């Protein structure tokens, strides 16, 4: 039999977990403003970087979880690209979640 105190602790833990999940969800509307700089490269169809020459990927419609992981890796230095590291350096986890939600919902 579960004691009342134990049940209250488990219920509290579940509520905290749900709140953390809700809080971490990105807001596409907030992400729209935060992604304005990103659109300069990632929103241009068939954009190619001048040097070194490579195709800049379009991000519209990409999975939010992938975008979040990539931006956090750039921010934390685990993924190497000087421009992307500089862009991601000042982003909070919520900024990243918002930007990822925006691009996930953005029509290609």
Which comes out higher in pLDDT, residue 107 or 82?
82
Cα 60–Cα 62–Cα 67 angle in degrees, nearest 5: 110
C-alpha–C-alpha distance, residues 91 and 12, integer Å: 30
- The model's pLDDT over 33-65, given as tens digits with 9 standing for 90+, comes to 999 999 999 988 888 888 778 889 989 999 999
- The model's pLDDT over 61-86, given as tens digits with 9 standing for 90+, comes to 999 999 999 999 999 999 999 999 99
- Position 19 scores a pLDDT of 45
Structural tokens at position 57 = 């990927």
- Position 98 scores a pLDDT of 98
Query: Confidence class of residue 108 from pLDDT cuts 50, 70 and 90?
Result: low
pTM greater than 0.85: no
Instruction: Count how many Cα atoms sit within 13 Å of the Cα of residue 8 in the half-sphere of its side chain.
Output: 3
Domains present along the chain, CATH in parentheses: 27-105 (1.10.760.10)
* Torsion angle of C-alpha atoms 10, 12, 15, 19, degrees rounded to 10: -130
């Amino acid at each position: 039999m579960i004691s009342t105190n134990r049940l209250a602790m488990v219920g509290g833990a579940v509520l905290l977990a749900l709140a953390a999940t809700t809080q971490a969800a990105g807001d596409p509307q907030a992400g729209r403003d935060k992604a304005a700089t990103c659109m300069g490269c990632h929103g241009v169809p068939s954009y190619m970087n001048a040097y070194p020459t490579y195709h800049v990927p379009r991000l519209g419609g990409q999975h939010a979880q992938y975008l979040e992981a990539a931006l956090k890796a750039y921010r934390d230095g685990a993924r190497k690209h000087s421009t992307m590291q500089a862009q991601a350096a000042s982003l909070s986890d919520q900024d990243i979640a918002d930007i990822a939600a925006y691009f996930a919902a953005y029509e290609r």
